[in-house]
Amino acid sequence: MAADAALAPLSEKDAPKTFGERGAAVPFTTAALMWARVRQRANIKELLVPGLANTRGIYVFEWSGIPQRFTLTLFDRMLHRAIAAESNPSPMAIAQIANRVALGGAAGPDVQAAAERRIKDAESFTLLCRFVLTMRAIERMSADGTRISLAELRTDAGQQRAKKILSEIASKRNLSAQALYDRIETLSRLLGAVGIPGMPVKTPLRQLVQRMVQTTRVLREWADAGKGESIIEARLIAQVADETCQLVEQQTAIVDDNTTDIDALLQDWTTGERLMAATVVRLAWLLDGWDRLVNMWTDVADKSASDQSKSLALMSYLLPMIPARELRPEDVAKWGELSKTLYTQARTSETPATGLIDVEMMLRLEGHRAREAT
């Protein structure tokens, strides 16, 4: 596909087949780009913008030309530059870059403070995950039923005891103590952001899934009560959110089952590590873009039915549909039906004009970033 060209109105045939083709959501604060995604095609980085010019089509622009096409906010100018240097713009990479740019203060002090909190929380979740994995490993792998509690692990003496027990376990399994520690360390770095059973706090990822479940229920009730004009959109968004949550649950179940049976995971390490890494990546792609959708709904949750209808119509424009090749064969038909409903739903766009920055929308989108980290 030639860069900087508009696609014809999107149809099922044109729908992206893989997550990579769909692109990763970029947390721009420029109103016109609020649903934009980035993707890498060989050496060319592209920006995909849905909903421009009152069409359901997706416009594709060459990444380098964005500042000439749109009046970007200061944060987006910095974000645009930073993403340009990223060779693999995956959701996880974009999230890290966006947080780094926010730390610089380009989106104001609130977003900056939220970025600092996000980093601190991520470290805390990783540490907490290590504790729980250590507890679980001791519980499952020590032959004599030895246990250690989270409270004990937080003490100096508890740490020493855990270290000794893990060393004994390692030697019985023909492993060096360091290798066992490294495996736990690697797992906690991978899974800290996802969360594992036994962690007393829900990670942001699991909180997002919970908010999606709540939004699904609320939107179904909204549609059943016939509250506004966008009933079809409300049902569609609810259904896509519901189906996405089911796919997410399949992945979190993999994490949960494997970390519960941690002895098998640590023993068959090469396969286990690969499986966990792939699961974390898939989770990030499955949930990519949903935080903004859920926030958009939260913004209008206490507004009039008319405002809610407008937001729902807008939200339906960039429902993160799961590309066909990323689905199990038995799920393809179901998602195909959802895509069909989406693409036949012809509504006018509410996307604001692109000439100037929309300060209110910029502040609203910045508010989302600040709120997500609280």
| # residues near other proteins by CB under 8 A | 63
In the complex, least distance from residue 33 CB atom to other proteins, rounded to whole angstroms: 13
Closest to other proteins by CB, 227 vs 347, is 227
Applying CB under 8 A, the span of 4-12, 265-273, 278-286, 357-365 interacting with other proteins comes to: 357-365
Q: Given candidates 107, 247, 265, 312, which one binds other proteins under the rule CB under 8 A?
A: 107
Task: Based on the shown chain and the rule CB under 8 A, indicate whether residue 169 belongs to the binding site for other proteins.
Answer: no
Closest to other proteins by CB, 133 vs 321, is 133
Closest to other proteins by CB, 155 vs 271, is 155
In single-letter form, the type of residue at position 166 comes to L
Spatial CB neighbours of 83, under 8 Å, sequence gap ≥ 6: 26, 38, 45, 63, 89, 94, 97
DSSP bridge partners of 59: 6, 49
- Report the C-alpha gap between 28 and 25 in whole angstroms: 9
Query: x/- string (CB under 8 A) for other proteins, residues 213-232?
Result: xxx-xx--x-----xx----
In the complex, least distance from residue 326 CB atom to other proteins, rounded to whole angstroms: 28
Applying CB under 8 A, the span of 4-12, 18-26, 297-305, 328-336 interacting with other proteins comes to: 297-305
Q: Given candidates 66, 138, 162, 212, which one binds other proteins under the rule CB under 8 A?
A: 162
Q: Are 269 and 205 in contact (CB under 8 A)?
A: no
In the complex, least distance from residue 163 CB atom to other proteins, rounded to whole angstroms: 4
- Report the C-alpha gap between 180 and 186 in whole angstroms: 10
Helix-helix angle 231-260:109-141, to 10 degrees: 40
Closest to other proteins by CB, 28 vs 285, is 28
Applying CB under 8 A, the span of 40-48, 201-209, 265-273, 334-342 interacting with other proteins comes to: 201-209
Footprint on this chain of other proteins (rule: CB under 8 A): 71-74, 77, 81, 104-110, 112-113, 121, 124, 127-128, 130-131, 133-134, 153-156, 159, 162-163, 166, 178, 181-182, 184-185, 188, 200-202, 207, 210-211, 213-215, 217-218, 221, 227-228, 298, 301-302, 304-306, 356-357, 359-360, 363, 374
